[in-house]
Structure 1
Amino acid sequence: MGPAASWLPPVRALFAPGLDGRGDPGHVALTFDDGPDPVSTPYFLAELERLAVRATFFVLGERLEDQPLLARRILAEGHELAVHGWRHERFWRLCPRRELRDLARAADAVHRASGARPRWYRPPYGVLTAPRLLAARRVGLRPVLWTAWGRDWTARANADSVLGELAKRLGGGATVLLHDSDHACAPGAWHSALESLPRLVTRCRARGLTVGPLGEHGLRAG
């Protein structure tokens, strides 16, 4: 399987269940991309606290460095930081050398914020090219994409549409992708993800599934 083809969920579900985020069948991993955002991320943290749920935040290095207090709050409230890259750049704009440099820089930013080396990496747009895969291996990161996404980045998204999209592939062992920022989304799109959270967690719990971060997900090899 070519690395870039891993963007296609049916492909990676078949050939790379670990990359697809398939883990403990009694658990759902909740993940957020593109933060931390001083406008929107605090709302997600407050709602997660209310729901008694912890999650993994795939952060951008440059935004993390701009928001050290928010990064500390994410960690203090029991959530996990992971690497989304330095900037949210499209894969065709980067050369392999720059890809490695920027990914290492982002991992170092997470290390400084958390005091521990990050474990997980999700490339922007979920496109895991060969240079990105090699860079992740050199930096010591494990790529993880997602099993189910909410398509919460569009101007038309709302809580109902997000839940409808998630339902297509949501189940025990799934990794869920949402966004806690509109940094690379339509302005204000984050509201749809935020408003979907209570119903998402309720649905999972009604099926006997726990919801938590990737570190508790028991990811499979792949």
Structure 2
Amino acid sequence: MAAAVAGAVAAGHVVPAGSWLPGPRGLLLPGLDGRGHPGRVALTFDDGPDPRSTPHILRALDRLQVRATFFVLGDRLAGRRALGRLMAAEGHELAVHGWHHDRPWWPRPVRDAVETRRTAELVAGVCGEWPLWYRPPYGILTGGRWTAARTCGLRPVLWSAWGRDWAAGATPDGVTAEVLRGLRGGGTVLLHDSDTVSAPDSWRATLGALPGLVGACRERGLTVGRLADHAVRGADRGHGSRREPPAGAR
């Protein structure tokens, strides 16, 4: 009996993490893949905010007249609330990436629930409205993390194209080429505005890639913007008005 229970717990923890695989996810879970309006591309950044790099990303986006979605870490945002408020004031969207950037080797549903709620409440306090989105660190969406997100009223979303901008030796041209290789209309792009858990100074490749990447999207007739404007399949609408946390989320 104990073995059966342990097996069920392990399966509930591990099986949802299979959604990390981009091929099956794109076919079976287009909403989780970030698929939205075919005339748009959602631009997203993970792992910030970082006072060394995020302001540079913000200035580049402002020059390009693009607003994006930033999946923030609670332990980063907690000491950088003014930067978070600036991001929101400039029209960018803050979403939940977790409190710490760690891998979920073992089931820990209580900790997942506490840390996800804690981060969502922090984002809400900084932005003045409850966040819409959740993306787990490393894109590993375990059963506990999925449940924690949905209990907080957050919509889990991963990505449909990435730039591998976290790697040592990443270059602007390489990041741009990697994104465009997998990007189609309606896709969601994963980039990083911090090198907190990436190769040192890798964010500079991201920064250098932005003009060419946005330009290439526009040449294809695609509008680049936030997830909130992307009409992700199955997502609850709520932007444009003050969002409140679901009952029991506080």
TM-score, shorter chain, exceeding 0.5: yes
Matched AA of 1:68: R
Measured in 1, the distance between the counterparts of 2:193 and 2:72 equals 10
Is structure 2 residue 214 aligned with structure 1 residue 201?
Answer: yes
Structure number with the bigger relative contact order (C-alpha 8 A, sep ≥ 6) is: 1
TM-score (norm 2): 0.87
Q: Distance in 2 between matches of 1:93 and 1:41?
A: 32
> Could you say which residue in structure 1 is the equivalent of 2:150?
137
Give the whole-Å Cα distance in 1 for the aligned partners of 2:232 and 2:190. Answer: 15
Q: Residue 164 of structure 1: CA displacement?
A: 1.8
Q: Which residue of 2 aligns with 1:30?
A: 43
* 2:190 aligned partner: 177
Partner of 2:239: none
Match of 2:175 among 149, 159, 162: 162
Structure 2 runs not aligned, ≥5 long: 1-13, 236-250
Aligned residue pair count: 222
Extract structure 1 runs of 4+ deviating beyond 3 A.
none
Out of 179, 183, 186, which is 2:199 matched to?
186
Q: 2:215 is aligned with what amino acid?
A: T
**1:43 alignment partner, one of 46, 56, 72:** 56
Deviations 1:57-82 (A, max 9, x none): 00001111110110111011110000
Q: Does the 8 A contact of 1:41 with 1:180 survive in 2?
A: yes
Cα distance in 2 for residues equivalent to 1:156 and 1:34: 19
Shift of 1:123: 0.1
Tell me the distance in 1 between the aligned counterparts of 2:199 and 2:165: 9
Q: Tell me the equivalent position of 1:57.
A: 70
The answer to whether the aligner puts 1:76 opposite 2:76 as a matched pair is: no
Aligned with 2:224 (options 195, 208, 211):
211
Select which of 101, 112, 120 maps to 1:88.
101
Change (3 A) 1:97 1:216: same
- Identity across the alignment (%): 59
Question: Equivalent residue for 1:9?
Answer: 22
1:170-189 CA deviation, whole Å, 9 max, x = no partner? 12100000000001101111
Larger mean Cα displacement after TM superposition, 167-176 or 51-60: 167-176
Matches of 2:117 and 2:111 in 1, distance apart? 10
After superposition, give the CA deviation of every residue in 1:59-110 in whole Å (9 maximum; x if it has no partner): 0011111101101110111100000000101111561111111111000100
The Cα shift of 1:221 comes to: 2.3
Which amino acid is 1:167 matched to? L
TM-score with structure 1 length normalisation? 0.97
1:152-211 Cα offsets, whole Å, 9 max, x none, are 001111111111211221121000000000011011110111110000000010011100
1:153 corresponds to which residue? 166
Query: Is 1:116 matched up with 2:129?
Result: yes
1:2 aligns to what SS in structure 2?
Answer: helix
Q: Which runs of 5+ in 1 are unaligned?
A: none
Determine if contact 1:17/1:221 at 8 Å carries over to the other structure. no
Q: 1:66 aligns with which of 79, 86, 101?
A: 79
SS of alignment partner, residue 97 of structure 2: strand
